[in-house]
Structure 1
């Protein structure tokens, strides 16, 4: 982030903000397997089509997904596959940290004397 202007930092913050919603992360994860339409995404995410459409609009606004109309159906796909490298990095680090915390808690609980 060194050397970025205030405007660029604001755009970066907005980009990460778009990733801060679990439903959007679910959508991105589903699209990893290929394009889907709104109805399919809504069903797979257990959300309404209106809700999924709002999330897709946010993801499209930040250049994460692109839409393509075919007849009366609109399909969405990932615009830039590098989004997965970013998500995998963050998720991998988080999983490692949670595992370390669980190990620490397990060690603490193993040392506590049990009540009879």
Structure 2
């Protein structure tokens, strides 16, 4: 199995998507026209840049092989290739979802999550 890709998402947003049957993306995803993901090596920086101080988040692991040709790895931050999904995320591609704990300084604790 390939390495999973990751999405950080607000718990309430994820619960609403579960009820709807598919995840269409956060506001920034809808604005950009694709769902932003990160690799294991990128997700902690993504959290610190875009989710600092936010609580009640989930880390969602996704099998990229289940996303087909709608998944593209494209240059973004610093020229690094980031996974972008040009479709709704089907729950059949989700490997797991786990709480993303906050730290005292407003960051997030990834200890044991990316294994």
TM-score by length of 2: 0.28
Larger of the two Rg values belongs to structure: 1
Bigger RCO (CA 8 Å, 6+ sep): 2
More helix by share: 1
More strand by share: 2
